Structure 1
Amino acid sequence: MANPAPFSRFEWMIAWRYLRARRAEGGVSVMTWISLIGITLAVFALIATLAVRSGFRSEFVDTILGANAHATIYSAGQGTEGAAGTRYIEDYAAMADRIREVPGVERVAPLVKGQVMTSFNGATSGVEVHGIRAEDLQGVRRVVEPIESWGDLSRFGAEGVAGIAIGSGVARELNVAVGDVIRLISPDGAQTPFGTTPRVSNYEVLYVFTAGRYDIDRTRVYMPFAEAQTYFNADGVATELEVIVDDPEAIDAYTMPILRAAGPDAILWTWRDASGSFLRALDIEDNVMFVILSILVLIATMNIVSGLIMLVKNKGRDIGILRTIGLTEGSILRVFFICGALTGVIGTALGVALGCLFALYIDPIFSAVNWMSGGNAWDPSIRGIYALPAELQWGDVLSAVVLSLGLSFVVTIFPARRAARMNPVEALRYE
C-alpha cells in the first residue's frame, strides 16, 4: 500500500482537533491563544514601527527637497565681501547659464540671503530672508503648494508692490495676517561717516504659507530678488545659486559636472551634506528598532514551543495509538508542525491586518492620542514636522511576514520532531 502524500487531509484534520483541545485536556488551547495573541501584537508592532519610520523619513526628506535647494553654489574667490564675511557672486547670471546646461539640472536661481529682525506691534522675531525672483519662487514646491496658505502669491515681485511672503510660524510669532505691514531691521545697513546704521524697511505681508517643516515656517521670509539686493547692499550680485535637479536622491552624481560648470572658485553644498548626519542617524535607529522588534517576534513565537511541548505530553497516548495503526514518523511530525505553523500563520495575518490599518488610519489615531494627552503628544519644535506620518511600504510588510513565518516554522520543528520520535511502546506502556 502506497504511503499517503505529505500534508494529507487526515493530517490536517488531526492537527485541527488538537488545536481545539479543551482546557480539561491540559490547557493547550490557552497556550495556543497566548501564542496567537503574542505573535499578532509583535507583528503589528513591527509593521507599525516600520511604517512610521518610512513615513517620517519620507516626510522629512520631502520637506527638505520641497523647500530648499538640492545643491547650493557659493563663491570662494576674491570677489566682493559682504556682511559677516559673505562672498558675493558677481557673475551669477553667466554662472547660472553654464550650470543650466548640465544634464539633469532642472532650475538654477540666484539668491540673496540674510538674517534680520522682524517687528510688528511690539512683537519681534528673528528670520532668514531669501531674496528670490518671482518666477524662481514658483519652483519652490512647498511654498507654491503648501499644506495651508493665505493670500495671493501672484502679487509677489509685481511692479510697485513692496511685499513679502512669510512662513506661518513667523506670522504666528508676530500675530500678523495677510495685508499687515511688518518692519524688517537689518544691523548691516547704510554706511555713514559715523559707522554702519541699521536698515529699517516696511513690507506688506502678501502671502503666508505652511511648508510642513517647523524650522522653515518659523524662520523663512521670501523677498523679491531686486528688493533684497537693495536691502542687503548687494546691488548687482548674489550670495548663492540655488540648484534644483531632476533626481535629488542621486545628487552625488551631479556634484562634479555642476562644479566644473560653475568654475574654479565655486563651492558646492548639497542637501545630503546639510542633512546627511541626521539621515544616517535615522538609518542606524531603524536598524536597531528592527532588531529589537525582531527579538519580540522571536519571544512571541517561542510560546508556540511551550504550547506544542504541552500538547505532545498530553497527547502521548494518542501518538502511540496513531503509530500503532500505521502512521509514520513523518506523518506525526507534520501533524504537530501544522499545529504550530497554523498558530504562526493566523497570528501573522492578524498582525499584518492590524499594522496596515494602523498605517492607513494613523491620522485619526494620532488625533485621538493627542486629544487624550491634552495636545502635547507631538511638539513640532522638537520633531520638526507637524504630525506623526506613516507610509506603508510592501517591502516592510513582506519582511515582517517572512520574519514571523520563518521563526514560527523553525521553532515548531523541534517539538514536532520530539513527538515523531516518541516510542509507541513507551507511550502505551501504562495504558
Structure 2
Amino acid sequence: MILSPFEWTIAKRYMLPGRGEAFIALVAGISLVAVALGVAALVIVMSVMNGFRAELFDKIVGLNGHAIVNAYGGRLENWQSVLADVRKTPGVVRASPLIEQPLLATFNGRVEAILVRGNTPQDIGRIQPNVKSGRLIDLQPGSGNVAIGARLAENLGAQIGDTITIINPAGRSTPFGTVPRQVAYQISAIFEIGVYDYDQAFVVMPIPDAQTLLLTGDSVGMIEITTNDPDKVGEILKPLAERLQGQAVVTDWKTINASLFEALAVERVAMFVVLSIIVLVAVFNILSSLIMLVRAKTRDIAILRTMGATRRSLLKIFVTTGFVIGALGTLTGLLLGFVFLYFRQPIVNLVQLVTGQNLWDPSIRFLTELPSRSDPVEIGVISVMALVFSFLATLYPAFRAASTDPVQVLRYE
C-alpha cells in the first residue's frame, strides 16, 4: 500500500495529535505500549520454553545417548556381540557399554542415595568440559578413583582427595544373612552437568571397577546408542529392536523422557495461545484510539472529501496511522524481549534479592540457570501475527472514515 505525498502528510499529522487531542494521544501511546509488552512476553516465554527443551535435550540425551539397549534381568552377558551388532546398524554413530545401578554412599556420617555409573574411558572423557575441579585422567581401572556430581559433593561435604564409601546391598552371604558390600573410593574429580538430578546422584567410575563393585563379572547393564538423527531414532533402531527380541529391549529418549518432554510441549502451546490473546487484547486499544480519532476528525474528513480526497485515500490514511502504531509496538516489543533475554539471569537474581524468594530452585526446575534459545521462525511468526492483528484493528475505523458523507457533516457542523 503506497501512499501519495498528500496521504502521507495527513497520516503523519494524525499520528501526532494536537494539544486538544491529548487523550487520543494517550490512548495511542497505551496501545503502543500494550502491543510492545504482549510481543515481548511472547518472545521471552517462547524463547525460555525452547531453551528449556533444548538444554534438557542436550544434557539428558548428551549424557545418556539417544537410546538404550536394556537386557532382560538387568545383565547383558554377551554384550560384545550385541555391541558389534548395534554398531553395524545404519544410522548409529556411537555405541558403548554402560553400567548404571542405584546404591548408597557415605562420608563422615552422611548418607546419600547415588547412581553408580560405569563408563568406558571414551565416555568418561566426554564429561571433561563439565569438570569443576580435579582430574578425570586419574579414573583408571583398578585405581579406586571416582568422579562425583557437584550437588552430591555438597550434600556429602566431600572434596577432591576425600574417600567415600559405596554400599552395595548385594554383598556376601554369611550364616547371619547377607552382609552388604562396602568399598572405599577416592574422589578424583567433581563435575557439574547442569541437570540437578544428575549432579546430586551420579558417581562415575570405569566399567571394570563397577563390575567389581556390583559383582557382575564381565556383564554390563545396557548399551548406550547415539544416532545421526535423534528425531528419527525409532525408525533407525527398529530393525535392531526386532533382532534383539527376547534378549533385550531398545528404549529411545522419547520413551525414557516422554512425560517430561510431552509436558513441555503442551505447556509451550498453551503459553503461546494465552499470550497471543494478550496481543489480541492489546490491539483493541488501537481500534479504540482510531475510533476516537475518526470521531474527533469528522469535520476535517468532510473538508478533505470536498477538496477532492477519495474514499480510498482516507482508507489508506487511517489504516497507515493504526498500522504504524502496531508496527512500532511490535518493534519495541522485540527489542524489549531480546534485552530481557540477554540479561535474564541477572534479572532473576535481582528479583530473588528484592523479594527474598528462591525463584529458580534447581531441584524443581532441573536446570541450574534460566535457559533461552530464540527460534527465528517463531520470532517471525510472532511479529507477523502482531502486525496482522494491528492491521485488522484498523479496518473498521478506516472504513468508517472513508464512508463519511461530507454533505451531512458540513450541514450540521
TM bucket (normalised to shorter chain) is over 0.9
Q: How many Å apart are 1:112 and its aligned residue?
A: 2.5
CA distance in 2 between counterparts of 1:246 and 1:395 reads 24
Q: Which amino acid aligns with 2:114?
A: V
The answer for the alignment partner of 2:70 in structure 1 is 74
The answer for the alignment partner of 2:132 in structure 1 is 149
Q: Is the 8 A contact 2:102 2:115 kept in 1?
A: yes
Q: Does 1:180 align with 2:162?
A: yes
Q: How many Å apart are 1:260 and its aligned residue?
A: 4.2
Q: Does 1:362 align with 2:344?
A: yes
- TM-superposition CA deviations, 1:167-211 (whole Å, max 9, x none): 111101101111111111111111334432100110000111000
Q: Does 1:270 align with 2:252?
A: yes
Q: Does 1:287 align with 2:269?
A: yes
Among residues 311, 326, 351, which one is paired with 1:344 in the alignment? 326
Q: Does 1:46 align with 2:36?
A: no
Q: How many Å apart are 1:107 and its aligned residue?
A: 2.2
Q: How many Å apart are 1:40 and its aligned residue?
A: 1.0
* Gap regions ≥5 residues in structure 2: none
CA distance in 2 between counterparts of 1:373 and 1:224 reads 45
SS in 2 for 1:231: helix
The answer for the alignment partner of 2:17 in structure 1 is 21
Q: How does 1:377-416 map to 2 (within 5 A)?
A: 377-416=359-398
Q: Which amino acid aligns with 1:200?
A: Q
Q: How many Å apart are 1:304 and its aligned residue?
A: 0.9
Q: Does 1:321 align with 2:303?
A: yes
Q: Which amino acid aligns with 2:306?
A: T
SS in 2 for 1:27: helix
- TM-superposition CA deviations, 1:128-172 (whole Å, max 9, x none): 10122223322xx4x2221x52111011125x5111111111101
Q: How does 1:168-247 map to 2 (within 5 A)?
A: 168-247=150-229
Q: How does 1:99-110 map to 2 (within 5 A)?
A: 99-110=86-97
Q: How many Å apart are 1:279 and its aligned residue?
A: 1.1
Q: How many Å apart are 1:348 and its aligned residue?
A: 0.8
Q: Does 1:258 align with 2:233?
A: no
CA distance in 2 between counterparts of 1:45 and 1:257 reads 45
* Gap regions ≥5 residues in structure 1: 77-85
The answer for the alignment partner of 1:80 in structure 2 is none
The answer for the alignment partner of 1:332 in structure 2 is 314
CA distance in 2 between counterparts of 1:108 and 1:392 reads 32
SS in 2 for 1:339: helix
Q: Which amino acid aligns with 1:374?
A: G
CA distance in 2 between counterparts of 1:280 and 1:272 reads 9
Q: Which amino acid aligns with 2:109?
A: G
* Identity fraction in percent: 37
Among residues 60, 63, 85, which one is paired with 2:59 in the alignment? 63
CA distance in 2 between counterparts of 1:46 and 1:314 reads 34
The answer for the alignment partner of 1:113 in structure 2 is 100
Q: Is the 8 A contact 1:74 1:268 kept in 2?
A: yes
The answer for the alignment partner of 1:129 in structure 2 is 116
CA distance in 2 between counterparts of 1:245 and 1:372 reads 46
Q: How many Å apart are 1:426 and its aligned residue?
A: 1.2
Query: Structure 2 vs 1, CA of residues 26 and 241 (structure 1 numbering), >3 Å: closer, same or farther?
Result: closer
Q: How many Å apart are 1:366 and its aligned residue?
A: 2.5
CA distance in 2 between counterparts of 1:136 and 1:334 reads 64
CA distance in 1 between counterparts of 2:197 and 2:100 reads 16
The answer for the alignment partner of 2:403 in structure 1 is 421
Q: So what's the TM-score if we normalise by structure 1?
A: 0.92
The number of equivalent residue pairs is 413
CA distance in 2 between counterparts of 1:211 and 1:375 reads 25
Q: Does 1:304 align with 2:272?
A: no
SS in 1 for 2:75: coil
- Report the RMSD for the aligned CA atoms in angstroms: 1.6
Among residues 85, 108, 120, which one is paired with 1:98 in the alignment? 85
SS in 1 for 2:116: strand
CA distance in 1 between counterparts of 2:96 and 2:173 reads 29
CA distance in 2 between counterparts of 1:255 and 1:417 reads 60
CA distance in 1 between counterparts of 2:231 and 2:112 reads 34
